Structure 1
Amino acid sequence: MKIIGQMSGTSLDGVDSVLVDIDDHQCEVLARHHLPFDDKLKQRLLSLCESGDDEIHRAATVSNQLSNLYAESVSALIDASAYSSKDIDAIGCHGQTVRHIPPHYSIQLINGALLAELTEIDVVCDFRSRDIAAGGQGAPLVPAFHHALFSKADENVAVVNIGGMANISLLHSDHKILGYDTGPGNVLMDAWCKLHKQQPFDELGQWAASGEVIPDLLNILLDDPYFALPAPKSTGREHFNLAWLKPLLKEHYAKQDIQATLSALTARTVADEIKRHWQQAEVIVCGGGAKNRWLIRQLAQYLEGFDIKTSEQRGVNSQDIEAMAFAWLAKRCIDRKPGNVCDVTGAAGKRILGAIYPA
């Protein structure tokens, strides 16, 4: 099957779309496209991450706006490929998460009917709600795909996805799969950089590298109860945001030192969770954080003795993986096969994930 996977994550940088040729044994990327969000849309999305006036109307209109952008990205992706829309079997679109409050609900903005109407392609979306209905967290959903993509029969493999939040997939050599959100990925670093440098992110981690980690602050941040919770667990910017951070800061802290400490928080919490399970493993880093050289350097320091590499070193573009995962999950839905891993999400059993909107 040829399926388009689409992901717009908590970093709010835009839509990643991939066209993949996929079956039970392989997933080959045929074309890719990135459509960035403008600042106005980012602010509209951020405003929906907290309670406010007229939320139902604002959410519905933003959902339609996003669906038009998803359709625009589909069109550009097909134009960049050797195929037409008639060659595409389905679109697997995650939508944009604005609230993730497990075990109660998780809201991803997308109008699946509108996207199907605009593209004339079957759409699969709403991947998280069935897992939550079965008592799960609805997240993370990518570990099953990570297993299909990266697992080894004779070696433990940890896949670290660093987007707005950071999550790990622990792929045991005996085929057991575990995974959960470790905590903030880029979300705090991006917010602090935007506030003080007027830049959407810290390019290559250069600002963080110019500072020094503040041990007392790092210890205070690590005291947050989320980090001590047992898995299954997942989180979002509802918890980790500037409102969470600012009361913990002292006036004499240098801004670049705070950035260095936030980078250390992400690296330390990821490393601690991997070491909780293994003392040696291959560690594959993907997501936007894979491009942050300083963050990867810090992660390597905390994971001394581990074999750390980016997904590119395993032959997969780090920016493609989550979009690929939702193409894979869409195929699972179409084939009526379960897409969740119960040990990861905490669901009562395996479930078919997603709702289908026929073209």
Structure 2
Amino acid sequence: MRVIGLMSGTSHDAIDAVGADIALREGAIQIRIAGLLSRPYPEWLRSELIAALPPGSVDMATVCRLDTAIGQAFAAAAESAVAEFFDGTADLVASHGQTVYHWVSEGTTHGTLQLGQPAWIAERTGLPVVSDFRSRDIAAGGQGAPLVGLFDVLWLAGRPGRSAALNIGGIANVTVTGDPPSAFDTGPGNALIDAAVALATGGAEHFDRAGIRAARGMVDDYLLETLLAEPYYDAPPPKTTGKELFNRTYLERVLRSRPLAPDDIVATVTALTAHTIADALRPFAPTEVITSGGGTRNPTLMAMLSERLRTAKLRTSDELGLPSAAKEATAFAVLGFLTAHGLAGSYAACTGAAHATVLGSLTPGAAGFAFPSVPKTPPQRLTLTG
């Protein structure tokens, strides 16, 4: 089955599209990645999206405009991916959409909102679309995030020792193998780093390219200890967070009592990401940490993280045959495949749900729904092929 996986994460800078040939045979999901493309949001759309995110306020007209514009941007990315990877013919689009709000209160997730109207994707490509993956897990009592837990558990099945799959996007999340496995958000990944760079440059820059600012700055121990006092870090998993908490206003509030040179702020929040990831993983004592996401392109962050992890081997998903930039879009392609065949895409032990559920909502394509049948036995492993 030829599936296009679409993802835009909490850095909300671009739409990643993966083309994946997916099959289910003898209890194993088999994936061949046909290609990856990334399409930046138009600057006007990114600016309006950022302004609408917490703690900003927004009216319903803006929500409608964003839902439409993001849906159209996702549709354009999907159309390009189908043409480039599958010569114009595919079977399904799995669209995560753009998270604009994840409603968490006192450790309980009550709702979530991803924009990017799937009807635009279905109309432009003619393909059925699976979208709105997170809501069903929340309705079943889960956190709704991170939803890559099932993918990670199947992908890492059989590896020696204890493995942790770490994705460093705007928010960092991990899946740790074991019996049972565990998955949760550790806290900020790039979110506060990006906010610090935006503060330092008056909004002219949005991220610390190659970790240069953090490398030339000095970590301020007082600010770091202040940031580490955030109660979220002490909460037990499963747990989830987002830019509803870790945003520019959060950083500005902390900095009122500790004004610092801009690069020192960037260095300190980079250290915060490394500390909180390593601290969250320490009780599990993983033997390897397999990283993906935008944070892997920040060598200063990766060096800090390697130092904090101590004995755990730090590697990237590329070493296991899964391109780091394609990891999350590939995971949602798999979740879309499972949904299309009526198979559960959540792992209750990872999200805290009462039971595993079939995820998402289906939008019909030009020919409605016509998917090949597969065995209804839940898969036990996942393999990547060349």
What is the deviation of 1:153? Answer: 4.2
Match of 1:20 in 2: 20
8 A Cα contact 1:151 1:157, kept in partner: no
Distance (whole Å) between structure 2 residues aligned to residue 168 and residue 308 of structure 1: 13
What is the deviation of 1:81? Answer: 2.3
The partner residue of 1:271 within 272, 278, 292 is: 278
Distance (whole Å) between structure 1 residues aligned to residue 288 and residue 159 of structure 2: 13
The one-letter code of the counterpart of 2:227 is L
SS across alignment from 1:319: helix
Match of 2:380 in 1: none
Structure-to-structure mapping, 1:91-110, within 5 angstroms? 91-102=93-104, 103-110=109-116
Structure-to-structure mapping, 1:143-222, within 5 angstroms? 143-172=149-178, 176-197=180-201, 198-222=204-228
SS across alignment from 1:183: strand
What is the deviation of 1:142? Answer: 0.4
Runs of at least 5 residues in structure 1 that lack an aligned partner in the other structure: none
Match of 2:292 in 1: 286
Match of 1:262 in 2: 269
Residues 172-191 of structure 1, C-alpha deviations (whole Å, 9 max, x = no match): 2x5x3211000000011112
Structure-to-structure mapping, 1:1-359, within 5 angstroms? 1-24=1-24, 25-50=29-54, 55-85=59-89, 88-102=90-104, 103-172=109-178, 176-197=180-201, 198-249=204-255, 250=257, 252-278=259-285, 280-359=286-365
Distance (whole Å) between structure 1 residues aligned to residue 248 and residue 54 of structure 2: 13
RMSD (Å), alpha carbons: 1.5
Distance (whole Å) between structure 2 residues aligned to residue 82 and residue 38 of structure 1: 26
Q: Structure 1 residues 245, 54: closer, same or farther in 2, change over 3 A?
A: closer
8 A Cα contact 1:18 1:77, kept in partner: yes
Residues 100-145 of structure 1, C-alpha deviations (whole Å, 9 max, x = no match): 0132111000212222112100000010111111111111100111
Distance (whole Å) between structure 2 residues aligned to residue 298 and residue 38 of structure 1: 33
Distance (whole Å) between structure 2 residues aligned to residue 182 and residue 213 of structure 1: 20
Residues 311-338 of structure 1, C-alpha deviations (whole Å, 9 max, x = no match): 1122211010100011000011011111
Q: Structure 1 residues 3, 243: closer, same or farther in 2, change over 3 A?
A: same
Q: TM-score, normalised by structure 1?
A: 0.95
The runs of 4+ residues in structure 1 deviating greater than 6 Å are none
The one-letter code of the counterpart of 1:29 is I
SS across alignment from 1:323: helix
What is the deviation of 1:255? Answer: 1.4
Which range moves more in the overlay, 228-237 or 44-53?
A: 44-53
The one-letter code of the counterpart of 2:75 is A
SS across alignment from 1:138: coil
Residues 260-317 of structure 1, C-alpha deviations (whole Å, 9 max, x = no match): 1100111111101111111x41110100001110100000110111111111122211
Distance (whole Å) between structure 2 residues aligned to residue 78 and residue 214 of structure 1: 48
Distance (whole Å) between structure 1 residues aligned to residue 16 and residue 51 of structure 2: 22
8 A Cα contact 1:46 1:98, kept in partner: no
Q: Structure 1 residues 83, 232: closer, same or farther in 2, change over 3 A?
A: same
Aligned length: 354
The one-letter code of the counterpart of 1:169 is T
Q: Structure 1 residues 53, 153: closer, same or farther in 2, change over 3 A?
A: closer
Q: Structure 1 residues 264, 52: closer, same or farther in 2, change over 3 A?
A: closer
8 A Cα contact 2:137 2:359, kept in partner: yes
Distance (whole Å) between structure 1 residues aligned to residue 153 and residue 72 of structure 2: 32
Q: Percent identity?
A: 38
Distance (whole Å) between structure 2 residues aligned to residue 153 and residue 53 of structure 1: 46
Q: Structure 1 residues 187, 53: closer, same or farther in 2, change over 3 A?
A: closer
Which range moves more in the overlay, 296-305 or 18-27?
A: 18-27
Q: Structure 1 residues 72, 252: closer, same or farther in 2, change over 3 A?
A: closer
SS across alignment from 2:314: strand
